[in-house]
Amino acid sequence: MTKTQYFLDEGRRIRQLFQTGFVDLSVSKHARLEMKHDDLKIEDIVCVLKRCSVINLEGAGEDTCYTAEGTTSDAVLINVVIKMKEVERNVFVVTVFAVRR
């Protein structure tokens, strides 16, 4: 499997998780500070994770950090770095930031 295909598969897993019911979403203190700085809300994160593309992976197993990218309902491009426990439907937001171009 190529890296691109792997990222597509991981993105599909995240999207399905958020599109198929309740997710226990926790947000780090750092992510909350970044959200305040970029004027982002929890709803923006959920919106992005429902439609995201995975652009980077670091770590392995439950320590894997996924960098998901997508646009909010206001068309702001953001990156959301998460860890997830898929079976427990638990997602931890490590950080989030608006992408400035």
pLDDT in tens, 54-101: 999 999 887 899 999 999 999 999 999 999 998 888 999 999 999 986
Q: Residues with Cβ < 8 Å from 82, sequence gap 6 or more?
A: 14, 49, 65, 66, 68, 91, 92, 93, 94
C-alpha torsion 95→67→88→40, nearest 10 = 40
| Domains of the chain from N-terminus onward | 3-98 (3.30.2310)
pTM of the model: 0.93
pLDDT digits (tens, 9 = 90+) for 3-16: 788 888 999 999 99
Q: How far apart are CA 58 and CA 51, in angstroms?
A: 20
**Of 2 and 84, which is predicted with more confidence?**
84
